[in-house]
């Protein structure tokens, strides 16, 4: 029976892993899509409840408006009554004056007759009448005059009594007017109080409506976010987790290469295929690159250089990644081997390495990513290593804190680099020249992150700095022609750093990302 070669077994393993990865990843994304769709249903139900609540509030406002209109009608009626009462009072006063004036004539007559009677000192009229039969004609005329005299007095008295009756009646009517005025004022006051009481409720109801509407707007915003998230997840169904670019994930460990970055080592190979590249300071202000691959498997990567004690600390967040490097001093080797990082260095995986005849040592060591994965001594993996970033969907807007940016410059000491926005990526320059790879392709990552860290002294050598990548600090995130100034945080050594703004994760533009592990005060942007 023919035996399968190690290469064939590795190839079959990768094929199986592809299908397994696709199924697992799709299931995860579909579950997340279901959750988002359920949240949208919940949001829409909340909106319906709030709209019904607002409708109830609006009905209350309508009732209050009707009540206010009714009270204003009552007030208007009383205002009209109160405006007419002074006229009625004035007319009645004129009438009263007229009646008082009319008292003058009968009173004067009565006074005149009384004075005349007093002057004459006449006896009572009945005595006069009794004696009249004995009197002469002349005397009878005098009696008739006397009777007329008494009649005038009686008529004057009757007139006075009639006028007094009218005056009393006018007095009653005047009292009635004053009472009507008092009652009208009371009714107007009561109507005004009813109106004020009704109106006092309006601000609270309007505040409830505004609050409910604001909540509805917030929920609609959440629905929009959920819809964007669904779109993003659907895009990720056919994208690779580490870059969000179109393709199928392969369940395999991350593979990190320590790559030389001095001028004699450039142009490097494979750096444009790395999912993420960390640039860290080594001795004398020089930098080296930690290029991590998961989605692509370049056949040539290098030049490869020695490890530093910063490397296992940085790489431990990627779930037992493979680490390709040329070698290291004994202290560094012991630290790497005691970590969760799996060494596939030149000593352990020499069959995947070779020295280029076109480069001088020590800038001539290269390796194949596919061969190193094939030699992977790690136990069988069932899931992807944690991705270093989250990514935006194609229709998802940038974070609101993003500001336009054209360039960022970093001074590592001996090494100076800058990135400029090209409209589709951040073109890198190093030492004043365009940074290109061995294929002549310019380094232009989709995202650039300046992660400000502190450098301590490596336990392996006093001259070797060690980046402190566990903790928190400031991060400048350059994506899609913008800058978001936020924070990086890595409190769990078994996970990569997260990048956020006020605890909200910042999502990168799909593609590859370069991260500068820079010291504070060494970067500027414009």
Q: Residue 53 maps to which CATH number?
A: 1.10.287
What's the DSSP call for residue 138?
A: H
H or E element, residue 332: helix 330-337
- Please state whether beta strands 322-324 and 287-293 pair in parallel, antiparallel, or not at all (unpaired): unpaired
H or E element, residue 450: strand 447-452
230 and 301 co-located in one domain? no
232 and 326 co-located in one domain? no
325 and 428 co-located in one domain? yes
269 with 69: CB under 8 angstroms?
Answer: no
> Which structural domain range is residue 247 located in?
240-377+387-525
The last residue of a domain, from among 236, 270, 288: 236
Percent of the chain as helix, strand, coil, to the nearest 5: 50, 20, 30
Residues 6+ apart with CB under 8 A from 140: 132
Q: Alpha-carbon Rg of the chain, whole angstroms?
A: 53
Helix runs in 103-136, H state only: 104-120, 125-131
Q: Is residue 135 part of a domain?
A: yes
pTM metric for this prediction: 0.66
- Residue 367, preceding peptide bond in cis (omega within 30° of 0): no
Q: Is residue 514 part of a domain?
A: yes
Q: Is residue 38 part of a domain?
A: yes
Q: Residue 259 maps to which CATH number?
A: 3.50.90.10
The last residue of a domain, from among 174, 202, 236: 236
H or E element, residue 520: none
* Whole-number pLDDT of residue 154: 75
Distance CA 94, CA 102 (A): 12
The last residue of a domain, from among 201, 236, 271: 236
Residues 6+ apart with CB under 8 A from 131: none
* Whole-number pLDDT of residue 3: 34
Order of all β-strands in the sheet with 433-434: 433-434, 426-430, 416-421, 407-411, 523-525
Which residue from 241, 278, 242, 251 is spatially nearest to 376, judged by alpha carbons? 251
Q: Is residue 99 part of a domain?
A: yes
231 and 244 co-located in one domain? no
Backbone CA torsion sign across 132, 136, 141, 146: negative
227 and 268 co-located in one domain? no
219 and 264 co-located in one domain? no
440: left (phi over 0), alpha (psi -120 to 50) or beta: left
Which residue from 474, 463, 476, 473 is spatially nearest to 408, judged by alpha carbons? 476
**What pLDDT tens digit does each residue of the chain (526 aa) get?**
333 333 333 333 333 333 334 444 555 767 777 888 888 889 889 899 998 989 998 898 899 889 889 888 988 887 888 787 788 677 767 776 776 677 666 666 656 665 665 555 555 544 544 554 455 566 656 656 666 666 777 776 777 677 777 777 777 777 787 788 888 888 889 988 888 888 898 899 989 999 999 999 999 999 988 888 787 777 666 678 899 888 888 889 999 999 999 999 999 999 999 999 999 999 989 999 999 999 999 999 999 999 999 999 999 999 999 999 999 999 999 999 999 999 999 999 999 999 999 999 999 999 999 999 998 776 677 788 999 999 988 888 899 999 999 999 999 999 999 999 999 999 999 999 999 999 999 999 999 999 999 999 999 888 899 999 999 999 999 999 999 999 999 999 999 999 999 989 999 999 999 999 999 999 999 9
175 and 251 co-located in one domain? no
* Whole-number pLDDT of residue 149: 65
* Whole-number pLDDT of residue 94: 73
CA angle 347–349–350, rounded 5-degree value: 70
Distance CA 428, CA 417 (A): 7
Q: Is residue 2 part of a domain?
A: no
Looking at the structure of the chain, the number of domains it has is 2
226 and 80 co-located in one domain? yes
What b/e readout covers 50-71, taking b as 16+ CB neighbours within 10 angstroms? beebbeebeebeeebeebbeeb
81 and 218 co-located in one domain? yes
Q: Classify residue 283 as exposed, middle or buried by CB count within 10 Å of its CB (0-12, 13-18, 19+).
A: middle
Q: Is residue 8 part of a domain?
A: no
Q: What is the crossing angle of helices 104-120 and 6-102, to 10°?
A: 30
255 and 211 co-located in one domain? no
Which residue from 471, 470, 447 is spatially nearest to 399, judged by alpha carbons? 447
What are the C-alpha distances in Å from 322 to residues 250, 254, 291, 450?
A: 15, 6, 12, 25
305 and 371 co-located in one domain? yes
Q: Is residue 12 part of a domain?
A: no
Q: Is residue 429 part of a domain?
A: yes
311 with 362: CB under 8 angstroms?
Answer: no
H or E element, residue 247: none
What are the C-alpha distances in Å from 279 to residues 218, 413, 514?
A: 41, 13, 8
What are the C-alpha distances in Å from 497 to residues 200, 317, 321, 399, 492?
A: 55, 8, 15, 19, 8
230 and 245 co-located in one domain? no
* Whole-number pLDDT of residue 1: 31
């Amino acid at each position: 029976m023919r035996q399968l070669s190690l290469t064939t077994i590795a190839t079959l393993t990768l094929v199986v892993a592809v299908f397994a990865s696709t199924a697992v990843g799709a299931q995860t994304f579909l579950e997340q899509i279901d959750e988002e769709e359920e949240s949208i249903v919940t949001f829409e139900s909340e909106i319906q409840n709030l709209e019904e609540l607002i409708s109830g509030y609006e009905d209350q406002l309508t009732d209050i408006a009707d009540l206010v209109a009714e009270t204003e009608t009552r007030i208007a009626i009383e205002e009209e009554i109160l405006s007419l009462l002074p006229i009625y009072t004035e007319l009645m006063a004129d009438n009263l004056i007229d009646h008082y004036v009319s008292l003058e004539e009968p009173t004067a007559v009565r006074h005149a007759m009384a004075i005349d009677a007093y002057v004459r000192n006449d006896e009572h009229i009945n005595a006069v009448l009794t004696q009249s039969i004995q009197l002469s004609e002349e005397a009878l005329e005098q009696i008739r005059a006397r009777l007329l005299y008494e009649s005038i007095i009686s008529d004057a008295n009757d007139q006075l009594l009639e006028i007094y009756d009218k005056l009393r009646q006018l007095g009653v009517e005047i009292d009635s007017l004053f009472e009507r005025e008092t009652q009208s004022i009371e009714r107007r006051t009561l109507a005004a109080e009813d109106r004020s009481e009704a109106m006092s409720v309006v601000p609270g109801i309007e505040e409830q409506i505004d609050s409910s509407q604001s909540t509805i707007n917030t929920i609609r915003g959440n629905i929009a976010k959920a819809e964007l998230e669904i779109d993003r997840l659907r895009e990720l169904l056919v994208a690779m987790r580490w870059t969000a670019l179109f393709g199928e994930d392969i369940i395999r460990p991350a593979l990190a290469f320590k790559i030389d970055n001095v001028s004699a080592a450039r142009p490097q190979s494979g750096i444009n295929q790395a999912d993420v590249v960390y640039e860290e300071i080594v001795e004398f202000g020089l930098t080296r690159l930690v290029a991590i691959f998961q989605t692509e498997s370049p056949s040539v990567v290098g030049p490869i250089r020695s490890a530093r004690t910063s490397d296992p600390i940085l790489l431990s967040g990627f779930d037992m990644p493979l680490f390709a490097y040329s070698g290291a001093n004994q202290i560094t080797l012991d630290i790497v081997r005691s970590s969760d990082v799996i060494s596939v260095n030149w000593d352990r995986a020499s069959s995947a390495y070779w020295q280029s005849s076109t480069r001088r040592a020590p800038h001539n060591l290269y390796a194949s990513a596919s061969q190193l994965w094939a030699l992977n001594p790690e136990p069988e993996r069932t899931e992807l290593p944690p991705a270093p970033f989250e990514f935006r969907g194609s229709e998802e807007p940038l974070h609101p804190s993003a500001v336009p940016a054209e360039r960022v410059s970093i001074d590592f000491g001996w090494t100076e680099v800058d990135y400029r926005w090209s409209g589709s990526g951040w073109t890198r320059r190093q030492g004043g020249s365009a940074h290109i790879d061995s294929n002549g392709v310019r380094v232009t990552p989709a995202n650039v992150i300046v992660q400000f860290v502190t450098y301590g002294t490596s336990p392996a050598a006093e001259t070797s700095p060690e980046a402190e990548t566990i903790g928190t600090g400031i991060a400048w995130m350059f994506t899609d022609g913008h800058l978001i100034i936020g924070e990086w945080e890595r409190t769990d050594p078994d996970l990569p750093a997260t990048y956020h703004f006020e605890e909200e994760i910042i999502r990168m533009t799909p593609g590859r990302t370069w991260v500068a592990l820079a010291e504070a005060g060494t970067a500027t942007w414009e």
